[in-house]
Amino acid sequence: MERPNVPESARMRFRARATTRWSDEDNQGVLNNAVYMTLFEEARLAYFRDLLAVNQFPFLLAQTNVLFVAPGRGGAEVEIECATLELGTTSFTQAYRVRDIATGRVWAEAEARLVCYDPTTNAKRPIPTELRAIVAARDGK
């Protein structure tokens, strides 16, 4: 299985903050793997909220490749790096990296492919031109 393609931190310009919850730990005493999907989702939404000043962006997650680097904990402040890697016609890819702020330790990295869709018809649609321009300005794509 190929590792996710995640640029080094210096090239990930956007950083979201999130807090893990005590109940995010499972009975192995570590952050349950499903919680990372929520952390990446929070970063993705913060990235677009920051760019677009709207609270919602109509995309669906099409694929994600996640590498678990070190065991995570509940009750921690984390920073999630987020960058857009490629902008296609109807889809784009992003990369994420979750870092525990207290220890500086990376917990997980991921790559994801998102598809733009029309929520009224559920059909794929091209990425809006203005979004394309804004993302290009942010991440140089």
Of 71 and 133, CB closest to its own copies:
71
Please, are residues 81 and 14 in contact by the beta-carbon 8 Å criterion? yes
Residue indicated by tokens 């609270």 = 55
Interaction of residue 61 with its own copies, rule CB under 8 A: yes
Interaction of residue 26 with its own copies, rule CB under 8 A: yes
Interaction of residue 10 with its own copies, rule CB under 8 A: no
Please, are residues 130 and 136 in contact by the beta-carbon 8 Å criterion? no
Interaction of residue 64 with its own copies, rule CB under 8 A: yes
Chain-centroid distance of CA 46 in Å reads 9
Please, are residues 90 and 81 in contact by the beta-carbon 8 Å criterion? no
Helix, strand, coil proportions of the chain in percent (round to 5)?
A: 25, 35, 35
Q: Which of 53, 55, 104, 129 binds its own copies (CB under 8 A)?
A: 55
Interaction of residue 12 with its own copies, rule CB under 8 A: no
Q: Single out the segment in contact with its own copies by CB under 8 A; choices: 2-10, 99-107, 128-136.
A: 2-10
- Helix axis angle, 33-52 relative to 129-139, nearest 10°? 110
The site for its own copies (CB under 8 A) is made up of 1-5, 18-19, 21-23, 25-30, 32-38, 41-42, 45, 55, 60-68, 71, 74-75, 93, 111, 113, 119, 122
